[in-house]
A and B are shown apart, each in its own frame.
Chain A
Amino acid sequence: MNLFEVLEQAYQTAQAALEAAEDTATLEAWYADTLGRKGAITLQVRAVGQLPAEDRPAFGKRVNEIKQALEAAYTARAEAVKHAELTRQLEAGAIDVTLPGRPVTPGHLHLTTQSLRQIYSIFGRMGFEVYDAPDVELESYNFDLLNIPEYHPARDMWDTFWVQHVRNSPTRLLLRTHTSPGQMRAMRERYPEPIRVILPGKCYRYEQITARSEHQFYQVEGLAVGKNITMTDLIGTLTQFTAMFYGPGHRMRVRSSYFPFTEPSIEVDMDCILCGGKGCRVCKYTGWLEIAGAGMVHPVVLKNGGYDPDKWSGFAFGFGVERPAMLKYNVNDIRYFYGNDLRFLRQF
């Protein structure tokens, strides 16, 4: 075998070994063995002296070609091995992505708080400020000043919790049966300004507790007093509210009704969100759901609040806070709200 043949053989051996290298360590060893200072190919260069002079240039040229080819092959191979190694490493590092995450417990706002905030926000845009009034009320604010004297049939509309005598109380006390006493408080405080307020709060009724009625619930009352406030303004305000609160596309209807503190009085219905107005158990087969009681503030109430009914007019409305949420989320039992079962509250 002449030296050329030896060289070619060494080249072939080196190529084969390079192709067989699967990891960085083997590759590095290959490099040292092949192209390193004492590597097989490097050593070939030294053999050039054994050749006749006329063969030397050709040999030298060929050695250089081989070295360059092997260097290039090495670089390519190193890339490939690195890539393969990374792939193996990533494969080994795979996790079951369906395993549960490390537990983090988020907090939840009570459903009622969430509903109230929506209501504040919608009425806030229409210029209504939130006005606070107490839970324990004077009988006069809850009833008499709202045009509901003692033993009046209208009192039948509210079953009342009465409070035992309180030392510094001027009159009989009760737990407010509705948020309407806040109307009187707002008027007496704000006269002679025009008024636009909503009055949220806990109300209490001396009623048996069932899936549909609780002894404690939230109401939001609205009151607007001004020089030229009309029934169509009231209907318009409630229409805006309904569209924003329940979403667009609902039909509304306005019915005549009776409340002692408004005249005329109305109730506002919306097409039943469960059956779309076709009629179902929830809407008592009417296709309509009552969403608010309302009316023009009764002249007697305006007067009791300090506003001259010949110069001022106003509207008032009120609605429960739990019911819309019950309809929206298909909650069939109002007791979930203040029973505080966290399995319920955490769903919102």
Chain B
Amino acid sequence: MRIPLSWLNDYVNVKDIPIQELRSRLDLAGLEVEAIEAIGYPEAELPWDPDKILTAEVLAVRPHPDADRLVLVEVNYGGAENEIVVTGAPSLYERKGESGLHLKVAFAWEGATLYDGHKEGWSKTKLKPTKIRGVPSRAMVCSEKELGLAEEQTDIIYLPADTPVGVPLVEVLGDYILDFQVKGPFGHLQSVYGVAREMAAIFRRPLKRTPVEAVQRLGLRVVEQPDFAYLEIADPDLCPRYTATMIRGVQIAPSPLWMQMRLSRAGMRPINNVVDITNYVMLELGQPLHAFDYADIRPHPGETQPTIIVRRATAGEQMATLDGELRTFDDEMLLITDGGGPVGIAGVMGGLDSEVKAHTQDILLEAANFNFINIRRTCQMLKLTTEAGARFGKRVDPELALVAAARAAELMVELAGARVDPVAGDLYPGKPEPRVIHYSPALADRVLGVAIPPEDQLRILAALEFRVEVTESLPIPGNRDHGDVWRVTVPSYRMDVSLPVDLVEEIGRIWGYDHFPVTLIEEELPPLRRNVSLEAEEHIRDILVSLGLDEVIIYSLSDPEDEARLHPDPTAKLDLPGERVMLKNYLSPERSQMRRTLLSGALRTAWSNLRFMERIAIFEVGHVYFQMREPDDAAPDTGVDEPRRLCILLTGPRQGRWYAPTDREMMDYFDLKGIAEALLRSLALEDKVRWAKGQHPSFHPGRCAVVTVEDRELGVVGELHPLVREAFDLPEQPVVLLEWDLDVLLDAARQADAEKKIGTISNYPPVYEDLALVVDEAMPAAEVQRAILDAGRPLVTEALLFDVYRGEQVGAGRKSLAFALTYQSPGKPLDERDVAKLRERVIKLVQKQLNATLRGA
């Protein structure tokens, strides 16, 4: 909301306060100034030099001796002598030969910097003395464009007749436009007067009430049914008040310069005096108004008196609005109708047929009040934003309606030559009761932690127009504050204030949070709890980073197509543990589904990074989202389960390039498995997991493992299926991924940690020995290893696979697995005999269990 400071100064004089201080104090009190645009002042894009750009008056216009299209004007700029200026300004050219003039203009001396009026856009130029067709010229009269006030070069600017001559122009036309950001339902801040009222309280200055006293000045009286129209509110729940004021004999013309300038500085385009006045009063007081051409308000068939009825639309009813659009309404939208049908959408936009036209003579001026929630709904449903709708949507005080009507009427008389009917119509079914709050000044202390003296509290409330009666000790239900209780009557326009704590906010913000002392919570701590789940998650991150992986955090909103691409068969779907969670409204289809897997995001990330690097090793710890199949008490009450997942992706060469040879093999399944095993070892889970051949459509059917921990499925590890790799446009190299259920992993880790007991660390020398066993091709190596360790327990402490051999020596369908065994006892050195006994036991058991033979035997 743009408000010129010059306008504010009409009601509260803050001219002496430097602009930055003004801004900062407004900010502190909760009137947030988003930006300040300076006009003419030193901060402006084009500062007006106060010595060189002045007000002046044109006294006479004489022909140029040597040019047909130019004239010489005699200008009084307050100097000792008048100055002769050469100009081609059309409106001065028209007055060629006239003298005895007193036209107030903006005058610039040589050396002044202005915009070049004859160039497109904004290019600055410094005024130089020159000769135009033989006549010397060292000054000029300026146009709006040259001063930076308009984009188009038209005529020179004329100042009001009462403008003093020879003063710096910046004092007359300079301004600061404050752009306020009003958050929340604050109708009382949606106007120049409303902001001025706040400023009066903030700066402790008097407030000039002229604009809200027009009813008294005009002597306007109200009745429910005036003689110029029949009024009816059919739906008072949506229309607490409707006033109609009759304004006759308007002469439609442009509004005066000062009004046009204020409107355009506030961001509204001047149109004509009548429309400008309704807009001006809306900006000034915050009450939207609508001017109907009285001639277009129809009576009911068979009646003579024009009729206005405020009612809900019937579903499907239509009307063309001012902007020329045909609108269709539903039965919750409120319309202004006449005897013939709709003439306006209440509080949002008027109808096309009854708008003010160039020949309009009589005006029915509507100043009404509507339910703000309903107005907002209508605006949203119709996708229609208007100044009126936006203001009503922030809640407007119904008391303001008649005040604004009178103010507009007064200006119509003054600026449009109109007459006002002394009696206006006013239906007011929703007149609110005065709001009274029982307030204890001790509450401020309790909420704020600062003892603000009661006299300061009183002063602040009074400055904000709250009426305070200090009463005898009045019991407030539930009040635990002792001492005085005040009866505080809330001004009608403060519709946001209804609770004692609302008054505390008013007092706090005007008193100034900025000089509050700083304290820390004194109370005892709540029972302390750890967030074990978060701690464990962070522990996983630390482990994976220490293993050389980069953490990524990918958007939760994903592309359903990407999920489909994870299946190599376009007609099939992944089997995921729940239905998808889809958005109703989304920015793009690529961000329309809450992800159900981390795989596709990791693949996308790999793809985008492979454009710039060859090696990717990333992980993500994050949530996936499913509709729950069954209601589950342990899960969120939203119907959506949000389990955590861990995803790891590797692709690219094992090592980076170096000047000497490095391991440039592409990372494969075993690189990832190594990382997975390191992670499991860090969590003391290496003995508790089972790796088995797995099946997952996204993975190479022969290079996929499913991992379980204590019979719960952790997830998959494998190499991406080549078709899926192609679908994600990834290069022809192995991409290996892991996706595990983080909650399962962390549960198991917690369990393992609880059970962890430190084993004996033996200082007796170990004995090392190799053992090669020949087994069937299908026998998993992990099983052989487990069998060896089981058989040798506890003295065989390690069995490390170091060679796998297939060939004639071991026969078809068989393979040889060579293990390096470590024998060690915690209690004594092992001798040859001990080792021989152990070896025998291991071989015997393994042969029996696994159909293994000793290689070479």
Contact = CB atoms under 8 A, between A and B. Distances in A.
A263 B587 CA distance: 34
Contacts of A237: 520-521
Contacts of A310: 478-480
Contact of B541 (A109, A152, A169, A240): A109
B551 A345 contact: yes
B842 to A, nearest CB: 39
Nearest to B621: A113
Given A129-B528, A253-B514, A169 B377 contact: no
B534 interface: yes
B550 A231 contact: no
A7 B664 CA distance: 70
Between A110, A196, A204, A288, the greatest number of chain B beta carbons within 10 A of the residue's beta carbon is seen for A110
Interface stretch (A38-46, A131-139, A324-332): A131-139
A152 B371 CA distance: 11
B807 interface: no
A280 B27 CA distance: 17
Contacts of A135: 556, 594, 623, 625, 642
Contacts of B586: 161, 206
Contacts of B584: 161-164
A72 to B, nearest CB: 48
B487 interface: no
B372 A346 contact: no
Contacts of A190: 526
A102 interface: yes
A93 interface: no
A169 B638 CA distance: 5
Given A102-B662, A107-B549, A108-B551, A256 B513 contact: yes
A315 to B, nearest CB: 9
Contact of B548 (A106, A161, A226): A106
Contacts of A132: 531, 533-534
Contacts, number: 307
Interface stretch (A9-17, A75-83, A334-342): A334-342
B658 interface: yes
Query: Which of A134, A136, A228: most chain B Cβ within 10 A?
Result: A136
A260 B184 contact: yes
B448 A231 contact: yes
A345 B552 contact: yes
B71 interface: no
A135 B394 CA distance: 30
Contact of A152 (B185, B499, B538, B618): B185
B557 interface: yes
Interface in B639-679: 639-640, 642, 655-659, 662
B628 A168 contact: yes
B551 A109 contact: yes
Interface string A157-181: 1000111101111100101000000
Interface in B486-533: 499, 501-502, 504-505, 508-509, 513-514, 516-531, 533
A260 B499 CA distance: 13
B555 interface: yes
B637 A170 contact: yes
State which size class the interface on A falls in: 35 or more
Contact of B553 (A161, A311, A337): A337
B582 A313 contact: no
A87 interface: no
A212 interface: no
B594 A206 contact: no
Interface in A237-296: 237, 239-240, 253-260, 263-266, 284, 286, 288, 296
B509 A170 contact: no
Given A103-B656, A154-B184, A258-B186, A233 B449 contact: yes
Contact of B627 (A150, A168, A311): A168
Chain B interface size band reads 35 or more
A193 B526 contact: yes
Given A132-B533, A153-B376, A340-B554, A255 B27 contact: yes
A57 interface: no
B514 A173 contact: no
Contact of B583 (A163, A216, A229): A163
Contact of B514 (A151, A164, A202, A254): A254
Contacts of B836: none
Interface in B593-648: 594, 605, 608-609, 612-613, 615-618, 623, 625, 627-628, 630-631, 636-640, 642
Contact of A264 (B380, B505, B631): B505
A259 B530 CA distance: 30
B783 to A, nearest CB: 33
B23 interface: yes
Contacts of B834: none
B553 A240 contact: no
B551 A110 contact: yes
Contact of A230 (B373, B447, B662): B447
Interface in B372-388: 372-374, 376-377, 380
A298 B501 CA distance: 8
B121 interface: no
Nearest to B601: A340
A36 interface: no
B571 interface: no
B659 A99 contact: yes
B395 interface: yes
A17 to B, nearest CB: 45
Given A153-B376, A229-B523, A173 B28 contact: no
A271 B552 CA distance: 32
A215 interface: yes
Given A127-B528, A230-B447, A255-B27, A113 B637 contact: no
A161 B583 contact: yes
B587 A209 contact: yes
B577 interface: no
Nearest to B534: A130
A284 B551 CA distance: 34
Contact of B501 (A204, A224, A296): A296
A249 B655 CA distance: 45
B545 interface: yes
A208 B587 CA distance: 7
Interface in A54-105: 99-100, 102-105
B523 A228 contact: yes
B579 interface: yes
B553 A105 contact: no
B550 A345 contact: yes
A235 B513 contact: yes
A301 to B, nearest CB: 11
A333 B623 CA distance: 25
A196 B509 CA distance: 26
Given A166-B639, A229-B521, A255-B28, 6 more contacts: A113-B541, A127-B526, A153-B393, A164-B582, A173-B581, A264-B505
27 contacts: A100-B659, A102-B658, A103-B655, A105-B548, A108-B545, A110-B551, A113-B551, A129-B530, A154-B184, A162-B584, A164-B581, A167-B628, A173-B640, A193-B527, A194-B525, A229-B523, A231-B447, A239-B518, A255-B514, A264-B447, A265-B505, A310-B479, A313-B446, A313-B447, A340-B553, A341-B612, A342-B618
Interface of A: 99-100, 102-110, 112-113, 117, 120, 126-127, 129-132, 134-138, 149-154, 157, 161-164, 166-170, 173, 175, 190, 193-196, 202, 204, 206, 208-209, 215-216, 224, 226-233, 235-237, 239-240, 253-260, 263-266, 284, 286, 288, 296, 298-299, 310-311, 313, 337-343, 345-346
Interface of B: 23-24, 27-30, 32, 34-35, 183-186, 372-374, 376-377, 380, 393-395, 446-450, 478-480, 499, 501-502, 504-505, 508-509, 513-514, 516-531, 533-534, 538, 541-542, 544-557, 579, 581-587, 591, 594, 605, 608-609, 612-613, 615-618, 623, 625, 627-628, 630-631, 636-640, 642, 655-659, 662
Among all A-B residue pairs, the 5 with the closest Cβ atoms: A230-B449, A256-B30, A232-B449, A256-B509, A169-B639
